[in-house]
Chains A and B, each alone.
Chain A
Amino acid sequence: GAVVSQHPSRVICKSGTSVKIECRSLDFQATTMFWYRQFPKQSLMLMATSNEGSKATYEQGVEKDKFLINHASLTLSTLTVTSAHPEDSSFYICSAILNSGGPYEQYFGPGTRLTVT
């Protein structure tokens, strides 16, 4: 149980184009999902909190117009990187909270490697 998937696992795009990454909770409903990015040999950096049916909450320094987040259902959140540039190349990981009556444990997806050329 508590499986989170991401699609695609890898994507290469040209500078100036937009890329959409999907995050799905496969066997549970998640009212809250999170988006992280991770640079090589660094820890996870929280980008935003995604709540079903409401606007995402972005961390300080994260451009909300560049990283569009939509949480349209209890099992799906999407991250769209708009007008991508090489500096947006990174490993993007989502997580979903399993509300099992107490733990609020976060389960992570396998990640999406974005390369902008």
Chain B
Amino acid sequence: EDQVTQSPEALRLQEGESSSLNCSYTVSGLRGLFWYRQDPGKGPEFLFTLYSAGEEKEKERLKATLTKKESFLHITAPKPEDSATYLCAVQARGGDYKLSFGAGTTVTVRA
């Protein structure tokens, strides 16, 4: 069974204080690893897809990286508007396209 573990559960940052979120996974053949951002009371917003170890993707202050066992989401010089829950999910190779989600990391950025 696919498993996704995110750490820490919560992260409180000062504006401008860079940090990283971790996503450890076990999957029987990775098709893709996905990062989403979710604001309270809203659906997840797609951020990145990573497919193979060594891959990196960037979007504004966010950078996602992937190894064979884990993924990191780096937040550089965060702003209060980066406050959200960040979800990691894996999709296994096979006939369906289901995602297995981690529990998420809730990031709070103080001005």
Contact = CB atoms under 8 A, between A and B. Distances in A.
Interface of A: 2, 4, 6, 32, 34, 42-44, 46, 49, 57, 91, 93, 95, 97, 103-111, 113
Contacts of B49: 103, 105
Interface residues of B, number: 21
B31 interface: yes
Given A44-B87, A49-B96, A105 B46 contact: yes
Given A104-B32, A106-B97, A93 B103 contact: no
Contact of B99 (A2, A4, A106): A106
Interface in B41-94: 41-46, 49, 87, 91
Contacts of B46: 2, 105-108
Classify the interface of chain A: helix, strand, loop or mixed: strand
Contacts, number: 52
Contacts of B45: 108
B34 interface: yes
B75 to A, nearest CB: 20
B44 A93 contact: yes
Scoring B45, B96, B99 by chain A CB atoms within 10 A of each residue's CB, the highest score goes to B99
Contacts of B41: 91, 111, 113
A2 B104 CA distance: 23
A43 B99 CA distance: 12
Nearest to A46: B98
22 contacts: A2-B46, A4-B43, A34-B98, A43-B101, A43-B102, A43-B103, A44-B44, A44-B101, A46-B98, A46-B99, A57-B96, A97-B97, A103-B32, A105-B32, A106-B46, A108-B36, A108-B44, A109-B43, A110-B43, A111-B42, A111-B43, A113-B41
